Amino acid sequence: MALRFLLFFALVYLFVSVLRSVFSWRRQQRDLRRREETKLGEEMVLDPQCQSYLPKGSALLRGGFYFCSEQCARLYLARPPS
């Protein structure tokens, strides 16, 4: 009889721990998705050289302008001021 109770508690424990890991996995997924969304909602900046918009976080700041690449920055900044 005692053994059966033990088995029952072991099963409950197992069930709860499985449930908990599933929930924490789902929470992780949700956090990940939220992070992606904030990345998408990030401010966009214009590269004055190639006229393309890119997220500020991945842009290069050179001479007060944002560029998509080092090449664009070089080309733009080497240009004589008009």
Residues that bind Zn ion (CB under 5 A): 47, 49-50, 68, 72
Distance of CA 8 to the CA centre of its chain: 42
Q: Which is nearer to Zn ion, 7 or 44 (CB)?
A: 44
* 34, 62 Cβ separation under 8 angstroms: no
User: Closest distance between Zn ion and the C-beta of residue 75, in Å?
Assistant: 8
Phi-psi region of 59 (alpha: psi -120 to 50; beta: other; left: phi over 0): beta
Q: Which is nearer to Zn ion, 26 or 56 (CB)?
A: 56
Q: Which is nearer to Zn ion, 50 or 77 (CB)?
A: 50
